[in-house]
Amino acid sequence: MARKMLIDGEVNQTNQVEEEAHFDFDLFVIGAGSGGVRAARFSANYGAKVGICELPFHPISSEVIGGVGGTCVIRGCVPKKILVYGANFGGEIEDARNYGWEVNEKVDFNWKKLLQKKTDEIIRLNGIYKRLLSNAGVKLYEGEGKIVGPNEVEMTQLDGTKLRYSAKHILIATGSRAQRPAIPGQELAITSDEALSLEDLPKRAVVFGGGYVAVEFASIWRGMGATVDLFFRKELPLRGFDDEMRAVVARNLEGRGINLHPRSNLIELTKTEEGIKIYTDHKEELLADVVLFATGRAPNTKRLNLEAVGVELDNAGAVKVDEYSRTNIPTIWAVGDVTNRMNLTPVALMEGTCFAKTVFAGQPTKPDYNHIPCAVFSIPPLSVVGLSEEQALEQANGDVLVFTSTFNPMKNTISGRQEKTVMKLVVDAETDKVLGASMSGPDAPEIMQGIAVALKCGATKQQFDSTVGIHPSAAEEFVTMRSVTRRVTAGGKPKTTNP
């Protein structure tokens, strides 16, 4: 029978021999987001007895609020993509006129209707994730978990009751949370959590940040008719992406009517009768209905009691792990954003899968972080896989060949929209191997997923060139880029041509 101890103030002492001889669970997972659920299900499928705990559900998270499905399902990728779909219709309706659709000049948008549909969907998905766990035989607990020993977890239930369970292995999968910069008036701003559940659509929005979340919400609100000002600290948004593609995205954001403020910081927010007043380090002053802070996320480790147990954290508060996702405590592991490796949902799924294989299938498996595709769901989106031009030049031993194609998508020739699609391949000149691919334009993520398979298989430029394209499509450009745009010597400064 499983040992379950009710704790009232003091830790019950148990016989050490009994502790070593028996565990309540083979695995106990703290956090039922993408990585935690995947690890729990797959471990159970390999025959492990698995328990998992998660905070109670709500669309807006806090230290004591979460929900099965985690950030991606409840307050991240999924609801964000639903809003991106909604925002895209704004441009589609404009474009429809030149395709013969007689659309009234004034088209109403019902934000509350979309918001309710979005909420209905995440509630549905929350239920699906619970059923996935149940069907796999995983025991789900609702409450806040923390680690109290190398093989012991304590869970505080919603009524305050504390339970303790022993586990042969413990997995930390608590993800990350949005952070707010420490400036006067920061409490007047919102994060992406609240942005996905706003009661009213803002007419004037200010977004502070230059990453995925910033450009995506700027695109969403602009697509729904708001005036949007995007402030970021660098010369271009999306630091870490290919510089040439960053410039393309910036142009497209401006082309859609978003006001960009590069090399800018917000230094103070104040509340006025007309709205929130924003002060910048360039002595700019703006009024907004909503200010979104999209300035990064921090690992959820503060309330896990990790320091007391001896689990090592890095300077950002992330759990330090080895190549197999194991911490410095042999029985404690961690996957997903809480480790701050590559913070993407499919990566957390991969890490969870590799963990289960390593620990419960007798198949030691390291996550492979090469050729992981990703997308920024701005309007239009950016998607990449492999190395950027800058990364290729840093890693290459010889010359790098850059192939680019800039064109007006066929759809735009009729709609009249002035927005170019840009594609790019980065190739090792000596081996002919394609090192990286990028695309900014409609359907980029759908196209890039297929390109990622090719790169994972080690495709060469000659193999791209010998592949027959689908016509007419934007995707065929990836197999028809015959002429080298530029050849760059490793260590040399790339000369970026702005198409």
Binding residues for FAD, by number, are: 81, 145, 174-176, 337
What are the binding residues for NAD(+)?
Answer: 209-216, 296
**CA gap 292, 204 in Å, rounded:** 11
- Distance CA(21)–CA(424), nearest Å, equals 58
Short-list 27, 31, 30, 56, CA closest to 42: 27
Q: How many CB atoms lie within 10 A of CB 67?
A: 25
Residue 83 carries which side chain, given as an amino acid letter? L
Residue 440 contacts residue 381 (beta carbons within 8 Å): yes
Contacts with 350 (C-beta within 8 Å, 6 or more apart), sequence order: 367, 368
Asked if 58 is an active-site residue, the reply is no
Tokens 């502070």: give the residue.
208
* Distances 417 to 29, 373, 409 between C-alpha atoms, Å: 50, 28, 9
List 58, 169, 371, 471, catalytic entry:
471
Residues annotated in a binding site? 81, 145, 174-176, 209-216, 296, 337
Tokens matching residue 124: 């549905």
Catalytic positions, written as ranges: 471
